[in-house]
Amino acid sequence: MTKRPCLVIGASGNIGEEIALHLAAQGRTLALVHSAKSSCSERIPPNGENIRWYGVDVCDSNGVTQLIKTIEHDFGTPPDLVYCAGIVKDGAIPLISDETWQSVIQTNLTGAFHCVRAVARSLMVVGNGRIVFIGSVSATKGNPGQLSYAAAKGGMESMCRVIAVELGRFGITCNVVSPGAIESRMVRDTPMPAIERLLKNTPLRQFGQPTDVAGLVTFLLGEDGRHITGQVIQVDGGMTAL
């Protein structure tokens, strides 16, 4: 499995970047994707045949299909998939615009569908593969203001179970890693009262680190994770235990 390239969608974000670093340390060849509005991470420079950066709008179905074809051509084999692209646009229910709803659902859920559909056929042909989605505790916890985000991440969990059942006979696994409060640029920009509420609702009373998520993703992509599929695994400091 370590010879297969791994496609990380959203590799320029905090969690995606850490996942890529973990995988690079294991010697995995990487196809790393940043959004049309971001750039590649300076911590992970391109490295010839081993690490390549690509740009794509995950909401563009044709663009994603072409991206997968390009990666298969560049690396000579279909990649495992880690989908951690996502946006959050919180707001009270009466104030959520159609545009906000569509953009959150499109990026967090429809984009994941585009990527899975584009890579599924090739993985079925080779007879094995790994798919990991980065979800959120918002799919489980009723967080005020996160209707669109929770709907997208809840849909991702349901989609994961269908993928696991439908593609399991081809040796393909699919799981969701669901973070809670993780130290990130978004958290650092959060007002202190909100941070205090997050910590109060986390039994371990501390934020997780991107490496906590990356370690589990790396495990699921490796040989030791070969018999785990259709699961949602929380990395939340006990938040969903409350």
Residue 153, both tokens: 């991440």
Nearest to 51 by CA among 5, 112, 109, 106: 5
C-alpha–C-alpha distance, residues 185 and 79, integer Å:
28
DSSP 170: G
* Residue 83 a catalytic site member: no
User: What is the rounded distance in angstroms from the CA atom of residue 208 to the CA atom of residue 10?
Assistant: 19
CA angle 65, 72, 30 (to 5 degrees): 105
DSSP, collapsed to helix, strand or coil, labels residue 215 as helix
Q: Which position among 40, 148, 149, 160 bears the catalytic label?
A: 149
Residues with catalytic function: 149
